[in-house]
Amino acid sequence: MRCVTIERKTKETDVRAQLNLDGGETKIQTGVGFFDHMLTAFAFHSGMGLSLTCQGDLDVDAHHSVEDCGIVLGQALARALGEKSGIARFGAALVPMDEALARAVADVSGRPYLAFFARFSQEKTGDFDLCLCEEFFRALATNAGVTLHLQLLYGENSHHEAEALFKAAARALREAIAPQQGVRSTKGIL
């Protein structure tokens, strides 16, 4: 159950993801180089196996591709977790990337919410619009049913700032989905 495949095809994108919460190979191909780099880091630091491909309308820009990858990854995470029993539920991480520092806190509760506080030093890194980081994480949190708080505490290099956020989110989710006995709720269900 902790391994699923999700596909989503629209007029703007065609996304396919295979996610294994317990690890495995990582293969990312979205057509957006920097985003591929971030998703590879995310998969590695979350301990998840992830194969994700996206064919999108990159002639417009990367927005639809990035957002739809977040939707599909979120749906895969939700399906792989099922009823969410037997997981730690909460996770938190502080991750440095050279001069940048990011914090992430996750609650895998079935209640989607994104709190995103990041002012990047530059608007872009390479050709990648950094405002798309928030779009990705919003789509991920909403579709996974995860409360996710992300904060860029400081930094000077936009590449490092974004990478610290992706790695912090990954580490927080890794901790939150770690196997643990029972359901982590006084209600008895999540």
Tell me the domains of the chain and their CATH numbers.
3-176 (3.30.230.40)
Query: In this structure, which amino acid lies at residue 154?
Result: Y
Amino acid at 115: A
- Residues counted in the chain: 190
Along the 190 residues of the chain, how does pLDDT read in single tens digits?
Answer: 689 999 999 999 999 999 999 999 999 999 999 999 999 999 999 999 999 999 999 999 999 999 999 999 999 999 999 988 899 999 999 999 999 999 999 999 999 999 999 999 999 999 999 999 999 999 999 999 999 999 999 999 999 999 999 999 999 999 999 998 876 666 766 6
Residue 118: CB atoms within 10 Å? 19
Closest CA to 140 of 35, 27, 56, 57: 35
Distance CA 177, CA 93 (A): 13
**H runs (alpha helix) in the chain:** 33-46, 63-81, 131-144, 158-176
Burial 52-68 (b: 16+ CB within 10 A, else e): bbbebebeeebbbbbbb
- Which amino acid is it at 95? V
10 Å Cβ neighbour count for 10?
A: 12
**CB under 8 Å to 34, separation ≥6 — which residues?**
125, 126, 127, 128, 159, 162
| pLDDT at residue number 150 | 99
Q: How far apart are CA 51 and CA 112, in angstroms?
A: 24
